[in-house]
Every structure is written in C-alpha cells, then in structure tokens.
Amino acid sequence: MISEKEYRRRRDKLALVLPKQSVTVLFSGTHKTRSNDTDYPFRQDSNFYYMSGFKEDNAILVFIKQKKKYQAILFVNKKDKTAEMWNGKRLGVKKATKRFLVDHVYTKDEFEKRFKEYLVEKSILCFDFGLDYSKVKILKRYSKNIATHKDISPTIGTMRLIKSNAEIALIKKAITITKKAHHKVMKLNKVSKNEYQLLANLEYTFKSNGAYNDAYTSIVASGNNANTLHYIDNNKPLYKGDLILIDAGAEYEYYASDITRTIPVNGKFTVAQGELYELVLSVEKKIIKMIKPNILRSTLHKKSEELLVEGMIRLGILSGNVKNIIKKKKHKLYYPHGIGHWMGLDVHDTSPYKYAQGKEIPLQEGMVLTIEPAIYIDENDTSVPKKYRGLGIRIEDDILVTKDGYENMSKGIIKEIYDIENMHS
C-alpha cells in the first residue's frame, strides 16, 4: 500500500514546480450514469488519487502557492446519514483531517466561498484542461480577473512516469492476479465454448483474488475477431483450429496490468499458426532485451518494425526490400500500432512521451511500459498465403526499467508454444 507520507511527498514535489502566486485545483471523479437511476461502478480520477489517495467522489484538492510555501486543502462530502444509508459511509471532515496530511479539510459545500478568497492577489490558476465543462464553469466564474490559466495535467503526468517502490509492488500484485486468470483460461477445454465463457473465468479470477476492477475492458477474440484491435463483443463461438487472442489485465488498488496472450482453441498450434506465433514471440523477446535507461521508445518501435517486416518477407506475407516496405508503410496493414505504452494508475498512463520542447523522453529507471508486437492478417486478404489468413497474434508483457536494464514483471505468464500446449493437456 501507499503511505500517507508518500502522497504528501508527491504534493511537496508538485508544489516545487507550481508557479508563484498561483492556485491549483484538482477535482475527484464523479459517479457516471449508466441508464436512468443506475450508475457505472465509481472509479477515482487518477491524477486526483495520485495526489491525495482519497477514494470518495465529489471531493476537491487545492494548492495555494505563495512565493516559496504552499498549502494543501482538501474538500470532502459532509457526513449525511440519509445519503450514507443509500450510498455508503463517508469519511467526513474529522476523520479526513486525522488521516490525510494536508493543511486543512473542509466540506465540499464551502468550496466556492473559499475558492473566491484563495484567488485574491493570485495571478495564475492551474487545473486540468480536460475537465468536464460544468467544473470548468465553476472555476471560471470566480477567476475572471486571473489572466493566466495553466494545464496541470502534463506536470502531474511527468511525475507519474517514475514509479515508487510502493507503486511497483501494487503493479506486481495486479500482474500476479492476472497470471492466475490467464493460466486458468489456458487450462480450460475451450472446444465448443463461447468467448464470453472465457471472459467469465477471467473476471471471476480477478475478483476472487482481490482485483475488484479490470484495468480495461477485456478482449477475448477468437479467429478473425483478433484482427479487430479493440474487439470487445466477446460473444462468438470458439471453433477447433482457431486461435484466441486474450488481452486482459487486473487492476489492484488502482494500479493496472496489461497482458496479451494468443492461444489455440484446441490446445495445439497448427504449423502455420506456430510459424507466425514464433515470429511475433521472437520479436518481443529481442525488443525487451533492448530496454535500458536512455534508450528511446521510438528506437524500440523502429526495430520491431524491421524485425516483423523481415519475418513477414520470409513467410511470404510481404515482398520486397525491408526499408522500402517500411518507407511506404505497407507493413501498417499488418502491424498498425506502436510497440507499447506507459502503464501505471491507468492502463495507458497519461504521462507524456515528449518534453514540452518536442524532444522525446528517453526511458529511465522506474518507468513501466508494455511491449506488444503483433501481426494481424484479415481472413479476406488474398495477397497473403491462405494458411495465414484470419490469424491475429499479439504477445504483450509489462516491463519495468531498472538501473542497468529491465525487469519483465510478467515473465511468469507462459508464452512459449511448448508451455502453452502442455498447460492445456
């Protein structure tokens, strides 16, 4: 778990780079309507949670920065017996004051009055420019005399790039649970079943091991469905001889995992499936081995393109010169996405990939990213040998950048053909 002291250190670090004579406002998440009077499960806003550790809705965190000193003020829901009977207990001002290491805690209904006072003699207002308009409207109502507005999201996103030991431990816990889920599905007799039955086993394993939320909507894509990158219908029958691409990761205490494995329905790869699978797997292994501080993510991606194109030429999927194919982007039909992305509080962490000046941010110790090469061949692509048509293969792992290289945190989730086939038997 992450300590209150760590949250305070984060606030101290943010305060150091906040403009002088500024007010910064972070809003919590809000309940979102699913239909009529039912809501989606509540999930705290990631930036707000990163800075506070507070899990309730309808809260606000304010930073008041003078010349050097700052104050952190938390606004929370007031205690209300009727509301709590329907929607659960609230911490309230007294308990929040004892628990959170902030300067002041007030009830949410005091915010607008106090916010107006905070802005006196201030010149800059910082907030998330991606806020929903109703919240922006509140801020702008009282900040008409503030000449400068600054988007705080990139600043917090940059902080979130480097994970603490506590954050890494939570990610590893999420991966441990995800491992159990993927291995359970690998062991199942999948012939004559449906994609949603595998999905049910994944979600049961997540929740029964303490991961109450998925890190994202799981993908269970059999056959040609795997060639739809964001396939989430998960409701088609499984047929003997097909592959299943399973992209599923648990979230544990707000921290994500993101794992993809591609497995055969009947437990055995055909020769053609094995050829394409081994190509993707070999590329993934080579790219992971390249990871170390100061290497660029773009370098990893370019190398993955070269290796995949070389392999596809070898298998007769593409023809021509590697450089020309990449220059003309012919490979994009089969490998349309990047090699990976940042991961942490969000499965696609909102951290930047470039500095404000436009220069790419190199990998550094403590960063976490996914590596996920893939090949997607639609069943109707007659330019490709028939044996490969309809195959979609992606293999994805979660990698921690270390002082001297990397740690594949998900290496325990099997991916060798021999192991997958023996897991099923």
pLDDT of residue 84: 87
Neighbouring CB atoms inside 10 A of 406's CB total 21
* Residues ≥6 apart with Cβ < 8 Å to 339: 287, 297, 300, 301, 304, 371, 372, 373
Looking at 43, 149, 337, 424, which residue is catalytic? 337
Catalytic residue among 121, 133, 230, 404: 230
Taken in order of first residue, the domains within the chain and their CATH numbers are 4-160 (3.40.350.10), 165-424 (3.90.230.10)
Average of per-residue pLDDT across 126-137: 88
Q: What is the tens place of the pLDDT at every residue in 374-419?
A: 999 999 999 999 999 999 999 999 999 999 999 999 999 999 999 9
> What is the average pLDDT across 371-376?
98
Best CA proximity match to 157, nearest among 372, 399, 346: 346
> What does DSSP assign to residue 215?
S
3-state SS, one letter per residue, for 260-322: EEEEECCCCCCHHHHHHHHHHHHHHHHHHHHCCCCCCHHHHHHHHHHHHHHHHHHCCCCCCCH
Average pLDDT over residues 328-336: 97
CA distances from 157 to 54, 63, 169, 346 (A): 18, 17, 20, 11
- Catalytic residue, candidates 37, 117, 121, 404: 37
Distance between CA atoms of residues 234 and 232, nearest Å = 5
What is the pLDDT at residue 67? 84
Q: How confident is the model at residue 157 (pLDDT cuts 50, 70, 90)?
A: very high
Specify whether 376 is catalytic: yes
Predicted local distance difference test score (pLDDT) of residue 169: 98
Kindly tell me if the per-residue pLDDT of 424 is higher than 70.
Answer: no
pLDDT bracket for residue 142 (50, 70, 90)? confident
247 among known catalytic residues? yes
The catalytic position among 195, 247, 253, 349 is: 247
Percent of the chain with pLDDT over 90: 89
pLDDT at 131: 86
**Is residue 337 flagged as an active site residue?**
yes
C-alpha span between 127 and 136 (Å, rounded): 9
Which helix (H) or strand (E) segment holds residue 124: the answer is strand 124-127
> In whole angstroms, what is the distance from residue 79 CA to residue 76 CA?
9
- Is the confidence at residue 425, as pLDDT, over 80? no
Q: Let me know: does 279 contact 318? Beta carbons within 8 Å.
A: no
Instruction: Check whether 231 has a pLDDT greater than 90.
Output: yes
- Tens of pLDDT, residue by residue over 274-305, are 999 999 999 999 999 999 999 999 999 999 99
DSSP string covering 128-163: -TTS-HHHHHHHHHH-TT--EEEE-HHHHHHHHTSP
Radius of gyration of the chain (CA): 24
Q: Catalytic annotation on 230? A: yes
Please identify which residue in the block is written with the tokens 């109502």.
141
The pLDDT value given to residue 192 = 87
Residue 343 has pLDDT above 90, yes or no: yes
Residue among 214, 216, 394, 398 flagged as catalytic: 394
Give the HSE-up count for residue 84: Cα atoms under 13 Å, Cβ half-sphere: 9
- This prediction has a pTM of 0.96
Please name the amino acid found at residue 232.
Answer: I
- pLDDT at residue number 1: 87
Choose the catalytic residue: 396, 397, 398, 406: 396
Report yes or no: 96 and 105 within 8 Å, Cβ to Cβ.
yes
Catalytic entry in 341, 346, 398, 406: 341
What is the average pLDDT across 111-116? 94
**Which residue of the set 114, 183, 348, 424 is catalytic?**
348
- Identify the active-site residue in 242, 372, 397, 398: 372
348 is an active site residue: yes
Is 372 annotated as catalytic?
yes
Residue type present at position 389:
R
Active site residue 37: yes
pLDDT at 115: 95
Mean pLDDT computed over 139-153: 90
Is it the case that residue 161 has pLDDT exceeding 70? Answer: yes
Residue 194: which of 234, 240, 243 has the closest Cα?
Answer: 234
Q: Where does the pLDDT of residue 133 fall: very low under 50, low under 70, confident under 90, or very high at 90 and above?
A: confident
Average pLDDT along the chain: 95
Residue 35 pairs with which residues in a beta bridge?
38
Catalytic annotation present for 396 = yes
Name the active-site residue from 118, 216, 376, 388.
376
**How far apart are alpha carbons 344 and 49 in whole angstroms?**
12
